[in-house]
Amino acid sequence: MTTAPLLASTWPVTSVGVVVTVLSLLLAVVTGVLAALNRRITRWVLALVALLELALLVLTVQLVVAWAGGNAPEQPVVLLAYLLVVLVAAPGTVWWGAAEPGRWGTGVVCIACLLIPVLLVRLQQVWDVSVAVTGHA
């Protein structure tokens, strides 16, 4: 017979995910340059982190709305754990980095900004688990 994969659900935040990824990578470049120049976190870096966090909150709201609408993830506990980490990564490292004078403070923020796109890919993988159904006669 035929083998047809049945998708359990589809990733509901493709465009916002792209925005978050671009912002995060842009912020990683900026904070990487600041770290290389041995500079502290500036106000405009804080503004970029706030913009990134706002985009992450929009992503979270879209996930919740999709979930409430019936497009549920296959592994909800794992998804919530990754979502919590991705939400606190940037502000947590800014708080940590602001206390550290010099390159290590901005370096920590840079690493977090490189981590966020990886976490988004993992969120999508957890959300879009597909189940293959095989029928044999």
pLDDT in tens, 83-97: 999 999 989 999 988
The answer to whether residue 134 sits within a structural domain is: no
Q: Please state the pTM of the whole predicted model.
A: 0.82
Residue 19 resides in a domain:
yes
* Conformation bin of residue 136: beta by default, left when phi > 0, alpha when psi is -120 to 50: beta
| Count of domains for the chain | 1
User: Is there a domain that residue 61 lies in?
Assistant: yes
* 27-62 residue pLDDT tens: 999 999 999 999 988 899 999 999 999 999 999 999
The two three-digit tokens of residue 121, written as one number: 């890919």
Residue 33, domain extent: 12-129
Q: What angle do CA 85, 81, 23 make, to 5 degrees?
A: 35
Establish if 7 belongs to a structural domain.
no
